[in-house]
Chain A
Amino acid sequence: MDSDGLHLAIDYVGTSGLILSPEQKACLQTSFVILKSEGKFHKVYFWGKILGVKDDYFIAQGVGIDGMAEKRTFYSKDCVHWAILNPVSAENKEKTKLAKGRFTGDPSYEFEHIEIKKIAVPDSEEMQEEEETIMIKEEDRLSAVIDDIDQDVFIVPRGAFTKTPTGKVFENRTFEGLSVSEAAKQGSYLHFRDPIKLQEKTLLQKANMDKALDFLDPIDEDIPKGCWSLQFERGSGLVTLRSLQWIGYTFYHVPGTRQYGSCYCGTGEMNKDLPFML
């Protein structure tokens, strides 16, 4: 959610159990201003927090004018000092998936994973087992998980961003919010990432699309069906979407207004049991 209205916006996700203490709010509001000016960002978003066993990580993202391309992630443990989180290479990202269990809260902690490889021994039929230890740094894992969450569940309402003919993605200044009936449909929310399923659509399906607005994947095609929980709070005054895939991700939107945002507060582990739980 936007750092400018953090103290107001955080109340919208309070019903989902996401609370910041007054101390954290005060710290964040000061440090975000500095982060924004030092990083020369167009906007700074409070991304959420990842709960560790000993300590929690607070995550912020700074974006440039193009909301999609220029994005940098920061983390902090005390809400005051922010450290940049470098994106992980694709190879390292695969490795971080091997790390199991909760985050510890120490970025320099290394997860150990022992991979047992079977190597054929020449001149005999037996396979020799060889143990290979892979070390995964928590900082890398943190970066990979944040990237995964952004890819999988970070959403915006339809119309909030427009794509210009030059390919840049800007915030749509004429976005006036979804109507209540639109807000009740999952098709009105789009994944804020490079589209994957859009190319697979037929020409007929694409015919009715507005190229400036429908340049992202809507969430109603996500697999498995029902991996989002859409609820109206306060009657229809506030729509809340909770991801069941990444438990802890909450998106809110006040229908009829420009107010929307999302936040993650969880352990940073994907819900692999989702198919059993629906």
Chain B
Amino acid sequence: MADTQVLNNELNSSQQGSVKGSKPQTPANMEMNLNPKEQDFINAKSYLLTASTKTGLNLFDHLSRVLTKVLDERPENSIDIFEDLSKEQKKEKFTSDVDTVQDKLDQTTEVALAKIQTKLFSDAIESSKGDGEEEGAEEEDVETPLPNIMELAFFFEQAGVGLSREESVRIWLALKNLVDNHPLQHVRFWGKIFGTEQNYIVAEVEYREGEEEEEEEEEAEEGQEEETEKDNDDEEDEEAEEDDTPKPDFKPPAVIPKEENRTGSNKKTYFVCNDPGKPWIKLPPVTPAQIDIARKMKKFFTGRLDAPVVCYPPFPGNESNYLRAQISRISAGTHISPLGFYQFDEEEEEEEEGEGRDTFVENLDFEGIPVRDLVDPSLQNWVHHVQHILPQGRTTWWNPVQKNEDDFEDEEEDEEREEPDEPEPEVGPPLLTPLSEDAEVENLPPWTAKLSSNLVQQYAIAVMHSNLWPGAHAFANDKKFENVYVGWGHKYAADNYSPPPPPGVQEEFPSGPEITETEDPTPEEEAALRAAQQEAAEQAEDMEDLEDEDDEDD
């Protein structure tokens, strides 16, 4: 007991000791007669107080600090972590508490993002206030294209897919922002695509009739075309001047024209952003060539839209084009709806019967399909409502031959060549085809149908998971259905990817007698030739002799 009391006293005085530095305190009663026990104690303490010659610290102060920390914080089983505590205490000695640099408010990325995102909330609050005061109840009746994301998120959560609720709210507000700033008729949360650096949140929109900002796009495209034409002209001029370089008679196959806005794979417009609250960026329309190459390659997205896509075969465009192509492919493959939710417009039906219908309207009489039937493994009650993309990269087939005939300059050359056979039109399944027609992927059923709950089945919803595009899901319940994609944007393949082989070596010249190497003459031929030469020489000599003789005669 006595010892501990002394120790306590010493602990209290340790503060003083540390202030005074490592100089040992000489107790006043040094010269008094001490019993040997006390003398030992003082010796031990003065040893502990000896400062290290390297760091200037002493064990006594250090221990007292560590013990103070332990007693203040009272961690459980403190003996187990004593080494760490001691080490931490030593580390803390080196960090100064008063640092002018650290006092500056640290503008972390967290704060920066929060500042961006807070706009979403404050805008929403302001607009809701504004609506309430100025326009009153009338305005509320106006149909807004904004979907009820939280309701959909709730259903997806039942299914165990999608995104977390908090993120859904942010996306919802971001979509609201998009609706407020663009004349949109229809908006959907398409999904999320992961990238290696950042992720993409994708919104699928349809502009209101006639209000699309088409002009800008067209101008931009025309500009591009002109530029390319100019380039071509320049090249031709140069060639004409030099006059020597042979002109290659290779003509690239005609470029398959992209589909017009509002049709086929460009039916919808897509906006992406990296984080909800960051600006929405419109993706360019997709071209068949991009879809074609996207099918042959497999690359991760980086998260930067302007990043180049380095791959083989070379991709025409940057990452925004690649993203757009993958979105088209995923939409065409995985956007499904319950049978009967959409129907073909009866008026238009007759007109367009010839070439496959591409429009449909919502069936107002749709009653909903019982969940039991929706999860039936035959999948007859689900239909695709996005057009199938043909191998050509378009949803409607475009004949590459007819275009050749339009080119007047090349007409003569065309005639000289053999007429290429009329290609077989590519045909895909028509719109609103049931999923039961989907092809199997390497012995895999293309879709997995499930109930959201096994425990309370009467209230469960039907959920579809795509096996072809892992990450694509759909749910249906009563009259509601929705599709979402959360994934890396790649198609499933059981086998590993192998890039397509490079094309065969191009033929340089048509092989003919003038460029083929002659065969070496056989010895017989050589002998014959030699004999013939000798004969000719002899004859010539004879002639000369004769002439000589003639001369001599003269």
Contact = CB atoms under 8 A, between A and B. Distances in A.
- Chain B binding surface SS class: loop
Contact of A231 (B111, B197, B300): B197
B109 A235 contact: yes
B279 to A, nearest CB: 17
Contacts of A53: 444-445, 448, 467
Contact of B299 (A23, A101, A234, A276): A276
B109 A17 contact: no
- Sorting the interface of chain A by its residue count into under 10, 10 to 19, 20 to 34 or 35 or more gives 35 or more
Nearest to B377: A54
A17 B164 CA distance: 8
A276 B80 CA distance: 49
B35 to A, nearest CB: 41
B196 interface: yes
A162 B108 CA distance: 30
Given A14-B167, A273-B497, A236 B160 contact: no
B204 to A, nearest CB: 18
Contacts of B157: 19, 21-22
B443 interface: yes
A177 to B, nearest CB: 14
A276 B298 contact: yes
B442 interface: yes
Given A101-B444, A101-B494, A229-B197, A277 B300 contact: yes
Contacts of A102: 444, 467, 494
B444 A17 contact: no
B66 to A, nearest CB: 13
Interface stretch (B36-44, B206-214, B262-270, B449-457): B449-457
B163 interface: yes
Given A19-B157, A19-B163, A235 B196 contact: no
A267 B465 CA distance: 12
Contacts of A51: 465, 470
A19 B110 contact: no
A235 B112 contact: yes
Among B75, B164, B486, residue most surrounded by chain A Cβ atoms (within 10 Å): B164
Given A22-B158, A53-B448, A15 B167 contact: yes
A247 B495 CA distance: 16
Given A17-B471, A22-B158, A276-B299, A11 B164 contact: yes
B130 to A, nearest CB: 29
A207 to B, nearest CB: 18
B499 A276 contact: yes
B160 A234 contact: no
Contact of A11 (B156, B166, B495, B497): B166
B496 interface: yes
Given A102-B467, A174-B81, A19 B164 contact: yes
A201 interface: no
Given A15-B163, A54-B448, A173-B81, A101 B443 contact: yes
Contacts of B487: 17
A138 B196 CA distance: 32
A273 B496 contact: yes
Interface string B140-179: 0000000000000000111111111111000000000000
B85 interface: yes
A24 B108 contact: no
A259 interface: no
Interface string B95-115: 000000000000011111110
Contacts of B495: 100
Among A78, A100, A232, A235, residue most surrounded by chain B Cβ atoms (within 10 Å): A235
Contact of B85 (A24, A174, A226): A174
A187 interface: no
Contact of A236 (B110, B195, B198): B110
Interface in B219-243: none
Contacts of B492: 267
A242 B162 contact: no
A272 B166 contact: no
Interface residues of B, number: 60
Nearest to A173: B81
A229 B496 contact: no
A174 B84 contact: yes
Given A17-B192, A235-B113, A23 B455 contact: yes
Nearest to A235: B110
Interface in A165-181: 172-174, 180
Contact of A15 (B84, B164, B298, B470): B164
B481 interface: no
A15 B88 CA distance: 35
A216 interface: no
Contacts of A188: none
Interface in A231-278: 231-232, 234-237, 242, 244, 247, 266-267, 269, 272-273, 276-278
Nearest to A24: B160
B397 interface: no
A78 B442 contact: no
A16 interface: yes
Nearest to A14: B164
A273 B88 contact: no
Nearest to B162: A19
Contact of B110 (A14, A54, A229, A237): A237
B360 interface: no
B398 interface: no
B344 interface: no
B389 to A, nearest CB: 22
A184 B70 CA distance: 32
Nearest to B471: A17
Contacts of B494: 100-102, 269
B167 A276 contact: no
Contacts of B298: 273, 276-277
A83 interface: no
A27 B84 CA distance: 39
Nearest to A242: B194
Contacts of B328: none
A21 B159 CA distance: 6
Nearest to B303: A231
Contacts of B452: 21, 23
10 contacts: A19-B156, A23-B158, A24-B160, A102-B467, A174-B85, A226-B196, A235-B110, A266-B470, A273-B493, A277-B298
Given A14-B165, A273-B496, 5 more contacts: A15-B167, A173-B84, A235-B108, A236-B108, A277-B299
Interface of A: 11, 14-17, 19-24, 27, 51, 53-54, 78, 100-102, 162, 172-174, 180, 226, 229, 231-232, 234-237, 242, 244, 247, 266-267, 269, 272-273, 276-278
Top 4 A-B pairs, shortest CB-CB distance:
A14-B164, A235-B110, A17-B486, A235-B113
